[in-house]
């Protein structure tokens, strides 16, 4: 039985907001649960899913640009992961491994629905955005939905921003997941932040906060 299970599994603190040492400790616990789950431990399976459900849902929501599909994509991700646990050997963190599966789930979803794109629900976008505000980007608390701004970014920049600033992956792990150099991820994040700040500035100039009914 893994002793820190309850404290981490029920911790709703966004991964990106935790100190580095705590992130490392949490990731080690999650990876241990994944390995235990591979051996058939039902409690480890539950803790593994609980610990990463929030990050997976945020990632698939922003990456797919379709909040209505987020729950289905998250469920698909975990079903794929649980079916593949026997192949997980702990060479990378379980978080990175799971997000790579989530990425493939989103890509497969694109392939199946590209001919029939669905319209995003603004209320759902705002709900998700309120649950995961990045630090260092002032103004989002003023009612401008982060997700609406993220939707306008190129896919690669949006993914880099979500992985590092919302999910909280180190740049090296985000680079591994995105199959590109670390410097490329840093550049994409910097450009995404610049674009978001400019979009926020433009939106605030165009429509004062509170003006819309």
Residue 141 is classified by DSSP as G
For residue 22, the model assigns a pLDDT of 62
Q: Which of 58-67, 98-107, 197-206 has the highest mean pLDDT?
A: 98-107
Side-chain-side CA neighbours of 204 within 13 Å: the count stands at 13
3-state secondary structure 60-99: HHHHHCCHHHHHHHHHHHHHHHHHHHHHCCCCCCHHHHHH
For residue 75, the model assigns a pLDDT of 93
The pLDDT tens digits of the residues spanning 18-50 come to: 555 666 788 899 999 999 999 889 999 999 999
> How far apart are alpha carbons 19 and 11 in whole angstroms?
14
More confident residue, 208 or 166: 166
> How far apart are alpha carbons 178 and 146 in whole angstroms?
22
Tell me what the mean pLDDT of segment 184-205 comes to: 85
Mean residue pLDDT of the chain comes to 74
pTM for this model (two decimals): 0.60
The pLDDT tens digits of the residues spanning 80-106 come to: 999 999 999 888 889 999 999 998 888
């Amino acid at each position: 039985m893994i002793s820190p299970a309850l404290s981490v599994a029920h911790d709703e603190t966004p991964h990106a907001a935790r100190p580095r040492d705590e992130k490392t400790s949490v990731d080690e616990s999650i990876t241990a649960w994944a390995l235990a789950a591979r051996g058939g431990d039902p409690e480890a399976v539950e803790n593994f899913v609980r610990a990463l459900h929030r990050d997976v849902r945020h990632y698939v929501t922003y990456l797919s640009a379709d909040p209505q599909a987020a729950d289905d994509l998250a469920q698909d991700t975990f079903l794929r992961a649980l079916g593949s646990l026997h192949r997980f050997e702990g060479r990378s963190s379980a978080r990175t491994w799971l997000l790579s599966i989530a990425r493939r789930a989103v890509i497969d979803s694109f392939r199946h629905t590209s001919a029939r794109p669905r319209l995003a629900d603004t209320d759902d976008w705002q709900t998700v955005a309120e649950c995961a505000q990045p630090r260092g980007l002032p103004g989002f608390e003023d009612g401008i939905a982060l997700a609406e701004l993220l939707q306008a970014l190129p896919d690669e920049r949006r993914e880099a921003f979500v992985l590092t600033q919302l999910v909280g992956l180190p740049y090296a792990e985000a680079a591994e997941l995105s199959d590109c150099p670390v410097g490329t991820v840093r550049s994409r994040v910097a450009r995404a932040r610049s674009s978001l700040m400019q979009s926020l500035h433009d939106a605030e100039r165009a429509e004062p906060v509170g003006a819309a009914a």
